[in-house]
Structure 1
């Protein structure tokens, strides 16, 4: 399901909701375990898993940007800076598993925003596939979702 994108005052929020047939602990491990993180987001690495801690983003040129962990409740909430924006994962109990929310607070819509939104969408698809023991073609999926998120951004910004 496509994220719900809305304008709130002078910024935007994109909310993704996934119902996963896996425990909170299993899903949490994919969000925070450096053995599992690269399987769905190869550039991320948790450096210090605590509020005020750091997640490192590999820029691919030998350098790393540090993203601050803004909120952390083990097996429940992981929120970190995403440069000028923020990304928040929330896990709650659901029937036959858990509910995963990803909420990105976007300060300014740019030409890159649909790329990021499609990227997060595919990341969540990959996490679900890994948990289910499946694989997906990330590049093909990203292309499909990139086009859809481009249209969603147009709808929200043209209101």
Structure 2
């Protein structure tokens, strides 16, 4: 399912939802455990898991950008800066597992935005696949979702 992309007063938001057949604590571990995190997003590492703490992004050239943790509620909310934007993971219990909601607040739509949206979409799919004991072909999936997000961004920016 595509993210819901909306224009707001101060930018845009993209909201993804995944109903996962796994407990909140297990899903949370994929968001915050440095042994599991690289399985779905190789460049991220949690440096200090606390509000005001840091998540490091490996730039691939020997340097790291520091992303600030803006809000943290254990097993529930992880929000951090994504350069000028923010990303937020919210987990809530459901009868058969949990709801994972991911929200990216986007300051400005750029040519790169559909790439990022497709990337987040595939990352969430990879988390679900890992939890289910499956694998997915990331590059092929990304190409499919990228084309869809290009069209979605065009719709939203023409409003």
Separation in 2, partners of 1:18, 1:82:
21
Gaps (5+ residues) in structure 1?
none
Separation in 1, partners of 2:144, 2:70:
32
Residue equivalent to 1:45: 45
Separation in 2, partners of 1:54, 1:81:
9
**Structure 1 residue ranges, 4+ long, deviating more than 3 angstroms after superposition:** none
Separation in 2, partners of 1:33, 1:4:
28
Separation in 1, partners of 2:109, 2:3:
15
SS in 2 for 1:49: coil
Separation in 1, partners of 2:28, 2:157:
33
2:96 is the counterpart of 1:108: no
Residue equivalent to 1:144: 144
2:69 is the counterpart of 1:58: no
SS in 1 for 2:119: helix
Residue equivalent to 2:13: 13
User: TM-score normalised to the size of structure 2?
Assistant: 0.99
Report deviation, 1:10. 3.0
CA offsets per residue over residues 89-142 of structure 1, 9 Å max, x none?
Answer: 000011200000000000000000000000000000000000000000000000
Residue equivalent to 1:119: 119
Residue equivalent to 1:29: 29
Separation in 2, partners of 1:93, 1:114:
30
Separation in 2, partners of 1:10, 1:87:
15
Report deviation, 1:9. 1.0
